[in-house]
Amino acid sequence: MLIVMRMLSGGASASVQAVGAGTIADLWDSRERGRAMGIFYLGPLCGPLFAPIVGGLLAERWGWRSTMWFLAGYGALTVIFIFLALPETLAVRKPVLPDVAENDMAPVSRPLSRVSSRQVVGVTTRWLKMLKIVFIDPLKIVLYLQYIPVLLSVYYASIAFGSLYVLNVSVEHSFGKPPYNFSTIIIGLLYIPNSVGYVVASLFGGRWMDSIMQREAKKANRYDEKGRPIYHPEDRMRENAWLGAFLYPAALIWYGWTVDKGVFWLVPMIANFFFGIGSMLIFSMVTTMLTEFMPKKSSEGVALNNFMRNIFSCVGSLVTAPIINGIGNGWLFTILGLVSFASSSVIFLMRVFGPRWRKTMDERMR
């Protein structure tokens, strides 16, 4: 039952991220969206800052069940705030089609002699439609991977996000054992450095990304008939992307070998701070780009990003501890860092071929 409830909570949190990013796309223009998206992502990524600390204190004082009660109360407060303080942000709503009455339904292939049989068919049809909406329709977002800009952006973010979970598991796995032997609360505090990195990158990274996009539009002399700059999503992948592409893989290798050799705990924590900066630059950049590659389906683009990157994070969480036991932190994070470095080729590809791929995508999505 605990696993089932955790699956349901995961689905709920994923929908919040997708709808939240779509809300940002509704409210902010492209020239300011990067800053807004960076601030928005402080929420999901600062969870690792507060959750281990609060959870460790609760579990140590009242047991692990107290964390569940805390989350239940927190969720109830969140629902209240959503109803009271979160209005609809979509400018134009699609008309809702009226429900088709049972009498207007197309006849079945052969006549049914009993009313109860018709009721069974109607109920079954409604349940099948509901199951399709719940389990089949959400998977249609995977079809957007046929567009190269979406595929590459999602892949790059997924590598960084999977690395985050490998790092989180390693912190818990490694610092609770010799030579560190830290308690649960102290291990929770070790998540602060990378979370501080997220905050720093959110505060300056989004604004920096917006200024880069505006600069690129002016440099290319792209203006509409009213003299307003024309922005392209791939313009966000410039020096900010290269900085993130260098920082977070280098920080992974730095962390891996310092922990592997039992170096004083502050040294790997400094590496985690830089990992937080580099990975946050990538996360906010990709999420903002997806809302602009798919302007009329921004929530679906973010949902696809969440779907794919959570697959990477799930696999990473499962295999990290066995791999550490087998080859150690040093080699694990060296391999992961090299894969991350190699994946930064996405930035070069988007720089060279991005405009052509985006135009093709726009034509096919019309």
Structure-model confidence comparison of residues 79 and 106, the more confident one: 79
Is the per-residue pLDDT at 113 higher than 70? no
Min mean pLDDT across 119-128, 157-166, 247-256, 306-315 is at 119-128
User: In the prediction, which pLDDT does 100 show?
Assistant: 46
Does pLDDT of 265 surpass 60? yes
Q: Which of 270, 301, 12 shows the shortest CA–CA distance to 143?
A: 301
250, 254, 256, 259 alpha-carbon torsion, rounded to 10°: -160
Query: What is the rounded (10 degree) CA torsion for 51, 54, 57, 62?
Result: -100
What was the pLDDT predicted at 90?
63
Quick check: 187 and 176 in contact, CB under 8 A? yes
Beta bridge partners of 223: 229
Q: What pLDDT was estimated at residue 108?
A: 47
Q: In this predicted structure, what is the pLDDT of residue 239?
A: 95
Indicate whether this model's pTM tops 0.75: yes
Q: Residues 94-123, buried b or exposed e (16+ Cβ, 10 A)?
A: eeeeeeeeeeeeeeeeeeeeeeeebeeeee
Which of 96-110, 150-164, 267-281 is least confident?
96-110
Query: Of 252, 251, 246, whose CA–CA distance to 347 is shortest?
Result: 246
Cα four-point dihedral sign 204, 206, 207, 210: positive
Within 10 angstroms of residue 281's Cβ, the number of other Cβ atoms is 29
Q: Is the dihedral of CA 170, 172, 175, 176 positive or negative?
A: negative
Lowest mean pLDDT segment, chosen from 157-171, 182-196, 328-342: 182-196
The residue type found at 282 is I
- The angle at the Cα of 157, spanning 156 to 163, to the nearest 5 degrees, equals 95
- Alpha-carbon distance of 327 to 306, in angstroms, equals 30
Domains of the chain in sequence order: 2-92+147-365 (1.20.1250.20), 114-145 (no CATH)
Considering only CA atoms, which of 177, 216, 213 is closest in space to residue 329?
Answer: 177
Residue 93 pLDDT exceeds 60: no
Q: What is the mean pLDDT of the chain?
A: 85
Rounded to an integer, what distance in angstroms lies between the CA atom of residue 201 and that of residue 278? Answer: 8
Query: Which band of pLDDT confidence, cut at 50, 70 and 90, is reported for residue 97?
Result: very low
Q: How many CB atoms lie within 10 A of CB 341?
A: 16
Helix locations, 132-191, DSSP H? 148-175, 184-189
- The pLDDT, as a whole number, for residue 9 is 76
What are the pLDDT digits (tens) for 115-160?
Answer: 456 666 677 788 888 777 766 777 888 999 999 999 999 999 999 9
